[in-house]
Chain A
């Protein structure tokens, strides 16, 4: 379970303090599929960064099960991300000089998996996403849909309990978007927690719970999104 307790994140710009995110209490249970909706600059990326242990709150606490995330040292938070979390990015963030297979191997390598096991696990994951014939292709040699599938394979290869996605369908055509959303459905069925930040109505509608983020304030779904669902 993820819990935000009186979390506030502020930035100081040109002498002015801006509140990027404020949340009195938010609980996301294990296995929940949550979409966070909001306009640009509403604090969506800040929320994902806070949840991912990458941006410490100005005040308040974030709990992952019984662990207060920001009371852990940097290395422990890196281990937490490596072992329990997976990230999906809008622009895929594949490493350009690595092949599809190697990109998927990276998190395994960080987790200390041996090279033969890395190859076997990464190949199986890419096959699952229909990329068996693209193992040796570099990102620049693949379509955006294929790149996002490689990114999904990289996210899931370490078997994370929590998936944090930042506009995962933002750059995709309808077919590729469907592939990603189906993958999220499948992850949800497998009991993983999914928190996706999106502008995409269809993507948000697939989530079982929707949060609205506006000017840094989080609230539960609004009626219009409920209708779409």
Chain B
């Protein structure tokens, strides 16, 4: 017979008391796990949708408009290229990718095209200072990836310009042709072409997107700046921001950082889902608060009642040699078991609920998140132990002479 067996046998003796005292924690954890699972997957879905849309935040010259951007305004104002460094060094939460662009008119074999200078992602990787800034970028929520310029497999092909608005590698003498340009100019991969007085090799051609990009020719930003003699400027900086940040905090933060630029967001398309995510995040905070208050209070009251009804048993244990510490541990361990069991069952119920309701509720497929599950069970256990601390202390302070009394 030891502390563990005493706790276990007492719990087995009063199964209904166990259920009622831990019900609030169980339900709280179930609700929290369900909501958080749906929220996280919904955030990931928003993030994925935004990524598929391309840049969702644009940094434009002060007087430029979205119209100028979409029209690939070739005679518009420019921004200093150093704004790119400023954005990266600021380490703002939610910045996933930054792609500066400089557009100019050019002629390709007699065909009028828009030559767009872009900075390949490998240039970011080469800049240690930028990497460090990116590493320390705080992660705001689970649905978003930490800002990073680590190349993905998709980034390594020219087609990534269509999908992620960025390309991993682009030599200073290479170009990528938009679908329309490729079709009309009849140039293809490996061809050598003349542009703005420079000689380039066609690295690849893009598939049709139905956007202004179809009529663009992409080259290295610094080559375009050199050939156009524009200096270190860009027409726009495209920022791929993370879901909620793109729709919320990031835009004002960027505006504050770059007061001489205009920061606009194009993420309205996912505003509704971002709104739902925010609502669910708020709800999960509310449930967390309820769990702490109701679950904690309910368990504390159950343990306090348990202490009261076991006063003589506690006195007897002390009379036969149990220390106050042993008595305190007896109740804390009981709370720990209750928290662990209620948390685990609640977690499973919450998970099943999320998997079932996720597709209907938020239109996302929900998969279990082990980290979140472990955190929920851990939090429930910690809450239970904290809630039981005071009654357990009171039990340890009980007078052992109670063993002689009729209670």
Contacts and interface: CB of A to CB of B under 8 A. Distances in A.
Q: Do A and B bind each other?
A: yes
Interface of A: 45, 48-49, 52, 54-55, 74-75, 78-79, 81-83, 86-87, 89, 91, 93, 95-98, 102, 105-111, 115, 118, 154, 158, 166
A91 B405 CA distance: 9
B316 A95 contact: yes
Interface residues of B, number: 30
A97 B10 contact: yes
7 contacts: A49-B404, A79-B321, A87-B403, A95-B6, A98-B6, A110-B322, A111-B321
Given A52-B319, A78-B323, A102 B400 contact: no
A108 B324 CA distance: 17
B73 interface: no
A98 to B, nearest CB: 6
Contacts of B403: 87, 89, 93
B324 A74 contact: yes
A108 B404 CA distance: 22
Interface in B305-336: 312-313, 315-326
Nearest to B404: A45
Contacts of B315: 93
B1 A49 contact: no
Contact of A48 (B2, B317, B404): B404
Contacts of A81: 318-321
A98 B400 contact: no
Q: List the 3 closest pairs (A to B, CB-CB), nearest first.
A: A82-B321, A97-B13, A105-B1
Contacts of A96: 13, 313
A89 B401 CA distance: 11
Given A75-B325, A107-B320, A102 B1 contact: yes
Contacts of B316: 87, 89, 93, 95
Contact of B318 (A78, A86, A109): A78
B153 interface: no
A87 B9 contact: no
B244 to A, nearest CB: 52
B150 interface: no
Interface of B: 1-2, 5-6, 9-10, 12-14, 312-313, 315-326, 399-401, 403-406
Greatest chain A CB density within 10 A among B319, B325, B401 is at B319
A107 B12 CA distance: 21
Given A52-B400, A75-B323, A106-B1, 16 more contacts: A45-B401, A49-B401, A55-B401, A75-B325, A79-B321, A79-B323, A82-B321, A82-B322, A89-B316, A89-B404, A95-B316, A98-B1, A102-B1, A109-B1, A109-B2, A166-B404
A74 B325 CA distance: 10
A110 B320 CA distance: 8
B328 to A, nearest CB: 12
B321 A102 contact: no
A110 B399 contact: no
B317 A87 contact: no
Contacts of B399: 54-55
A74 B318 CA distance: 10
A58 B6 CA distance: 35
B319 A95 contact: no
A109 B6 CA distance: 10
A102 B5 CA distance: 10
Nearest to B323: A78
A93 B401 CA distance: 12
Contact of B319 (A54, A83, A109): A54
B9 A98 contact: yes
B321 A83 contact: yes
A91 B14 CA distance: 22
Contacts of B320: 81-82, 86-87, 106-107, 110, 154
A109 B4 CA distance: 11
